[in-house]
A and B are shown apart, each in its own frame.
Chain A
Amino acid sequence: MLKITGIAASAGVAIAPAFKLEHPDYTVKQQHAKDSSAELQRFEEALAASVQELEAIKERTQQELGAKKAEIFESHLLILSDPELLTPVRDKIANELVTAEFALDETAKQFISMFENMKSAYLRERAADMRDVTKRVLTHLLGVKYVNPAEISTEVIVVAEDLTPSDTAQLNRQFVKGFTTNIGGRTSHSAIMARSLEIPAVVGTKDVLSQIESGDLLIVDGLDGEVIINPAPELVAEYEAKRDRHLRQIEEWKKLRDLPTVSRDGVHVELAANIGTPNDVAGVLENGGEGVGLYRTEFLYMGRTELPSEDVQFQAYKTVLEKMEGKPVVVRTLDIGGDKELPYLDLPKEMNPFLGFRAVRLCLDRQDIFRTQLRALLRASVYGNLRIMFPMIATLDEFRQAKALLEEEKAKLVGEGTAVSDSIQLGIMVEIPSTAVLADQFAQEVDFFSIGTNDLIQYTMAADRMNERVSYLYQPYNPAILRLVKMVIDAAHKEGRWVGMCGEMAGDATAIPLLLGLGLDEFSMSATSILPARSQISKLFKAEMEKLAAEALQKRTAQEVVELVQAIKQ
């Protein structure tokens, strides 16, 4: 028995005999040719055969994995019709008396090295596409045989140096139970494909290929990133149990994906996701998010040299709202400053940036920035269910000023004949203790609260969350924090407002029973936490959690609260 570790690329456990998928030798041995027109003819035939194969793979991928996954083959097809590639190859064959394979290989190498030398990691990965396409044509020219992964017809685990995009697209889930490769990472093609095919995979093992013979019994543990070769029967039994547990969990989570989040005694709460860019929405929907509880708009402003225009922002907000198809989307207006800087704003360095000129404080001063964002949001509001939230509100005056600016921009837009939604809820982040304490007053003027626990904890405990030496004071379960949360929730409910939470605490398995008991209405977390949280809540009685929360509020230390929750645990 031998255990090899790699990168867990796709969750699950597979147990089956190994099948080594090895590429033949693509070395071009024959350089010189005698008859250039015969070589040209060979090249065109190999090209046509490759195009035909790619069309078939594209078709198959489209049917089995959807149009999006098939796009990569559309790119491959374009490469095979690209004059920048084909013209030099044809010229070389015609003018230099070389074989078709030599001309192709030489030309392709130039593109491969060009991609490999690019600055962007993404574009460097395109070298893999170029190699994939070249190998496909070379297979025909060299007359070598490559086992088509689609021909596998017994249950196996595929072992390979690397899997090309076309390899992965041809893996038949019925027979290929998992795979493991020498190279690759979590974001490589093969890993992404494995996740969409839902087959366990461990990549980046460095030398798994040389350690395995075809037919060896393998365990691929895509949960912990391990490959076990020729395991003892007891170990097989252990991993079978692990596989079945995972499958049951997946089944359970899948069933929950399209269901609302309901406690065992029938109380509904909303589980939403935190996102940073429109690209994150796909993950929210895949994980059954009931909304977006926090759209951090900072990313629109970061990594650029000047402020984003109204149109750029409008496009981003509109995209998110449309993709969420009417589910609520809480957009937080610009929260810059603190640990998030924008070089082009050229703000002076501060002694205490977390206590300084940031978020709404900056926006109320730099109204040009703020108004542009508000206009973009208002214009986007007709494309979905928009909720706007101001960060770092410390006083009611700040909220009123921000709201007034929003109203002004709205009136202007309406005056210009632009459609603006009439049902935009307007809320604030509760992350400053003064606002939590005065929540009863705020609740009369805002539509909702969203508790930002990361900042609320650091401000309440007076502990800089970037400073490791005081990190012991970052205590989400401290009864002081829980009491503040309770104050906010009770104050809001008294006025008929709802309360969300968008800090890390909202997705925390220990905090969830307490938050449910305290009456939190919306939990916003990273998308991947949603289904586990939904599963957890479905097993809890809210009435019991209310008692638990009441007890927790009377505890003296964070440790006592944790022990209390763990004692009931689920």
Chain B
Amino acid sequence: MEKTFRITDEDGIHARPATALVNTANKFKESEAFAESGGRKVTLKSILGVLSLGLEKGDTLTLSVEGGQAAEALQALTDVMISEGLGEVHA
């Protein structure tokens, strides 16, 4: 399952929201979550990986989740994206 976002935060994805995303991904032990942007895919369980995407305002980011609880995990990650004011769902 996956969902694509457009980054709307002025600073792109920075340390605090990246921390929130990784912490959320880590809560779902049965699933593997990934972040993909600009042709690179990294595990969402690594803050350095997420920051290494160098996401800036206007970039698109695809979050994908595999394994158990995938739907719940993706929803929780979506909530973080929206509540942190990071991005909007990109149709």
Contact A111/B14 with A74-B19, A78-B22 known, Cβ cut-off 8 Å: no
Residue interface bits A481-514, CB-to-B below 8 A is 1, else 0:
0000000000000000000000000000000000
Q: With both chains docked as a complex, state the minimum distance between the C-beta of A131 and any C-beta of chain B, in angstroms.
A: 13
Tell me the bound Cα distance from A312 to B89 in angstroms: 9
- Chain B residues with CB under 8 Å of A118's CB are 54
| Chain B residue, CB-CB nearest to A300 | B8
* Total residue contacts A-B, CB cutoff 8 A: 74
Is A172 part of the binding interface, using a Cβ–Cβ cutoff of 8 Å? no
CA distance A78 to B51 in the complex (A): 12
B12 and A120 within 8 A (CB): yes
By the criterion CB–CB under 8 Å, are B46 and A83 in contact?
A: yes
The answer, among B8, B16, B22, B54, for a CB contact under 8 Å with A123, is B54
Q: 10 A–B contact pairs at CB < 8 A?
A: A72-B15, A75-B15, A75-B16, A79-B47, A82-B49, A84-B52, A278-B85, A303-B57, A304-B57, A305-B58
Docked-complex contact B88 and A129, CB < 8 angstroms: no
**Are B22 and A119 interface neighbours, CB within 8 A?**
no
Q: How far is the CB of A391 from chain B (nearest CB, A)?
A: 23
Q: Is B82 an interface residue (CB 8 A)?
A: yes
CB closest residue in chain B, given A72: B15
Per DSSP, are chain B's interface residues mostly helix, strand or loop, or mixed?
A: mixed
Interface residue A85 (Cβ < 8 Å from any Cβ of B): yes
Residues of B39-61 contacting chain A, CB below 8 A: 42-43, 45-49, 51-52, 54, 56-58
Contact indicator B52/A311 (Cβ below 8 Å): no
B59 → A minimal CB distance (Å): 10
Which 4 A-B residue pairs are closest in the complex by CB-CB distance?
Answer: A84-B46, A78-B47, A75-B15, A84-B48
Please determine whether B58 and A304 come into contact, CB atoms closer than 8 angstroms: yes
* Chain A positions 63-97 with a Cβ under 8 Å from a chain B Cβ: 71-72, 74-75, 78-79, 82-85
Tell me whether A123 and B14 are in contact in the complex, defined as CB-CB below 8 angstroms, given that A78-B23, A312-B88 are known contacts: yes
Decide if A114 is an interface residue (CB 8 Å cutoff): yes
* Listed residue (A84, A111, A115, A305) with the most chain B CB atoms within 10 angstroms of its CB: A84
With an 8 A cutoff between CB atoms, is A371 at the interface?
Answer: no
A75/B10 in contact, CB under 8 A: no
Q: State whether B16 touches A71 (Cβ < 8 A).
A: yes
Question: Is the CB of B11 closer than 8 A to any CB of chain A?
Answer: yes
CB atoms of B48 and A119 under 8 A apart: no
Q: Nearest Cβ distance between residue A283 and chain B, in whole angstroms?
A: 15
**A164 within 8 A of partner (CB):** no
How far does the alpha carbon of A279 sit from the alpha carbon of B16 in the complex, in Å? 14
Q: Give bound CA distance, A304 to B45, whole Å.
A: 29
Within 8 Å CB of B33, what residues of A?
none
